[in-house]
C-alpha cells in the first residue's frame, strides 16, 4: 500500500483559538474566539486559573492544491504525527485529544475567530480520544473516522483545502476544568519539529471500458486529469 507523508504542503498552517471567561459555559459555548488565531504551539487547553476558565481549540488548514498524490486516491487510513509534546492532565482525560472536520468554516481556506464555534464541527467526524505523552516526539493521532477520511480523500482528489479542529477531550466532553489540562505540540508550518500528515492510500482504477464502432468492438482508455504544476516544497515520501 502506498504511503505519503506530508509536511505543510502549500499554504498549510495551524493556529489555536482561545476563549476565556469567569463563567465556564460562556467560555466553552462561545461562538467566537478572542482573535483569528494564535500562532504558537498551544493547540488544546481546558483550564481554570484563578477565577477564570480558558479553552483553546487548534485549527488546521491543509492545502492540497498542489498535492503530489495521484488523482483518484482512496484513503485507507491517515495519521497526524506530532512532536515536542507538552502535556498536563490533573483531570482524567486532560491528556487526550480528538480531531474532527470543520464542515462550515467561516472563510474557506482562511482562519477566522468564528471557527472557535463548535457548531461548525461535524459531530459524526470525530476521532476517538487519543492520549499524548509529555515530552514525546513522533506521537500518533490516528484519524480513525471514515467520514473524516472521506473528507481528506475528497480534498486531495479535488485539489482543495481541508479544515480540521483538534480539541482536548475534556472540552469535547464538556467537563468543567479544575486545573490546567493541556496537550501542546509543534505546528505543521513552523517550529523546529513540525507536525506531519501520513496518508495510506490506494489509487482507484480509472480505466473505462466502452463499445465503439459498428462492430461493437470494446475499447478502453484513461481519462485525463489536470494536475497543479507548482512547487513540491513541503512534501516527503
CA dist 176 → 42, 50, 76, 180, 222 (Å): 19, 14, 36, 11, 56
Q: What is the pLDDT of residues 44-87, one digit of tens each?
A: 999 999 999 999 999 999 999 998 899 899 999 999 999 999 99
pLDDT at 206: 59
Q: What is the pLDDT of residues 90-138, one digit of tens each?
A: 999 999 999 999 999 999 999 999 999 999 999 999 999 999 999 999 9
- pLDDT higher than threshold 60 for residue 227: no
E strands, 22-176, are: 44-49, 52-63, 73-82, 86-88, 96-101, 130-131, 139-142, 161-168
Distance in angstroms (rounded) separating the CA atoms of residues 131 and 88: 11
Reference 12, options 49, 53, 60; nearest CA is: 60
**pTM score of the predicted model:** 0.86
Amino acid at each position: 500500500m502506498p504511503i505519503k507523508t506530508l509536511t505543510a504542503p502549500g499554504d498549510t498552517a495551524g493556529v489555536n483559538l482561545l476563549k476565556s471567561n469567569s463563567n465556564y459555559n460562556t467560555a466553552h459555548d462561545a461562538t467566537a474566539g478572542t482573535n483569528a488565531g494564535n500562532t504558537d504551539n498551544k493547540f488544546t487547553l481546558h483550564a481554570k486559573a484563578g477565577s477564570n476558565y480558558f479553552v483553546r481549540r487548534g485549527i488546521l488548514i491543509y492545502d492540497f492544491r498542489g498535492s503530489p498524490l495521484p488523482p483518484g486516491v482512496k484513503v485507507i487510513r491517515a495519521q497526524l504525527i506530532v512532536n515536542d509534546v507538552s502535556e498536563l492532565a490533573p483531570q482524567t482525560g486532560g491528556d487526550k485529544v480528538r480531531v474532527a472536520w470543520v464542515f462550515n468554516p467561516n472563510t474557506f481556506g482562511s482562519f477566522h475567530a468564528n471557527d472557535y464555534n463548535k457548531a461548525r464541527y461535524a459531530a459524526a467526524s470525530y476521532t476517538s480520544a487519543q492520549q499524548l505523552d509529555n515530552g514525546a516526539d513522533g506521537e500518533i493521532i490516528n484519524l480513525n473516522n471514515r467520514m473524516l477520511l472521506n473528507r481528506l480523500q475528497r480534498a486531495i482528489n479535488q485539489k482543495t483545502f481541508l479544515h480540521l479542529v483538534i480539541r482536548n477531550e475534556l472540552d469535547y466532553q464538556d467537563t468543567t476544568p479544575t486545573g490546567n489540562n493541556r496537550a501542546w505540540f509543534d505546528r505543521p508550518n513552523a517550529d523546529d519539529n513540525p507536525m506531519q500528515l501520513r496518508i495510506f492510500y490506494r489509487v482507484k482504477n480509472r480505466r473505462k471500458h466502452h463499445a465503439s464502432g459498428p462492430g461493437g468492438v470494446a475499447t478502453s482508455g484513461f481519462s485525463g486529469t489536470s494536475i497543479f504544476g507548482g512547487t513540491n516544497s513541503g512534501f516527503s515520501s
